[in-house]
Amino acid sequence: MPNKELKKLLQKWIEWLQTQRNYSQYTIQSYLSDVMLFIDYISKDKVSIRDLEEIDIRGFRNFFSQRAQKGIKRASIAREESSIKNFYKWLDNNDIIKNSAIFQISTPKLPKVLPRSLDVDTMFDIIDVATKECTEPWIGKRDRAILTILYGCGLRISEALSLNVEDVNHTDFIKIRGKGNKDRYVPILPIVLENIEEYKQSCPYKLKDEEALFLGAKGERLSPRIVQRKLQKIREKLNLPDFLTPHALRHTFATHLLAQGVDLRSIQELLGHSSLNSTQRYTDVNLEKIQKEYKKAFPN
């Protein structure tokens, strides 16, 4: 574990990530957890900043090798490496210590994973089941509203559940605060607004403008885990593939837009991607099949 000096430096680094880089609390916690894994690896009772300075390239390689031997996925190891490099770069930039060994480690190559989406009919089935498979009618309407906003607006689950009542005020756009606290405006379809309004009318709790839009059974802001569990149940009921998660609805939104001829730049803006490279992955999906699905669902 870190000694007092190192604990203070870790806290300053966290504050920098929050105030200067505008990282979310979830991202910051992931960075800190990754760095603490490495500190624990050093296997000293009180790890000092000098211990971090003295680690050579062999020490870094041994750490990542041990992680791989434990069966940790390459994507997770790549993220851990990125977190540790970030901390060492911060230490270097602030003239605390300089250790270039970590920057000689090459990031593990990751397999190219294409976004996996659902066809239109399946989306309708998912939303229909979500509405009916509830003991409380208002919860069914809530779940329907959440799934339609994920699919209809391409939101991350964290973005949808962080919405307050006043954020959806019957205009044509909603303001979304995404990764890195970056704001973007996303058009909202009338059907999405209708589903949200039906949920609001049936919700047994008083919905205040400055408070959460989507509430749990006890009146608290809804947890992403609840939506994840709901989709898991739907997946089992409809015998759907394992990739059906809240994020799969975002992929489906983007893939369907591309199939309809929307340009990549516009999709990039809607999704809030900082780089066009992230959006370009959708061009490798089988668009011909999706276009056929659209024609079947919306014939001329």
pLDDT digits (tens, 9 = 90+) for 5-39: 999 999 999 999 888 887 777 788 889 999 999 99
Q: Which of 150-164, 177-191, 243-257 has the highest mean pLDDT?
A: 150-164
**pLDDT (0 to 100) of residue 264:** 73
- The tens digit of pLDDT for each residue in 45-75 reads 788 899 999 999 999 999 999 998 998 888 8
Set 156, 230, 251, 256: catalytic member: 156
Q: What is the CA 66 to chain-centroid distance, rounded?
A: 27
Sign of CA dihedral 114, 115, 116, 120: negative
Query: If you classify domain 4-104 with CATH, what class do you get?
Result: mainly alpha
250 as an active site residue: the answer is yes
- Strand boundaries in 123-259, DSSP class E: 173-177, 183-187
Domain ranges of the chain: 4-104, 120-297
Q: Name the active-site residue from 74, 177, 221, 247.
A: 247
Specify the length of the chain in residues.
Answer: 300
- How many other C-beta atoms are found inside a 10 Å radius of the C-beta of residue 159? 21
Largest Cα span, the chain: 71
Give the C-alpha separation, 88 to 97, whole Å: 8
Average pLDDT, the chain: 84
> In the annotation, is 256 catalytic?
no
Among the residues of 20-99, which ranges form H helices? 25-41, 49-54, 57-69, 74-93
Q: Calculate mean pLDDT across residues 154-163.
A: 88
Residue 300 has pLDDT above 60, yes or no: no
Q: What single DSSP character describes residue 243?
A: T
Query: For the domain with range 120-297, which CATH number is right: 1.10.443.10, 1.10.1740.10, 3.40.50.300, 1.10.630.10?
Result: 1.10.443.10
- The Cα 228–Cα 245 span in angstroms is 6
Tell me the whole-structure pTM to 2 decimals: 0.60
The label of the residue with tokens 């970030």 reads 86
Q: Which of 74, 85, 179, 184 is catalytic?
A: 179
Active site residue 179: yes
CA distance 84 to 261: 41
- What would the mean pLDDT of 200-208 be, rounded to a whole number? 94
Q: Is 251 a catalytic residue?
A: no
Asked about 273 being catalytic, the answer comes back as yes
Residues 192, 245 contacting (CB under 8 angstroms): no
Res 209 pLDDT > 80: yes
> Which amino acid would we find at residue 193?
L
**Residue 41 annotated among the catalytic residues of the structure:** no
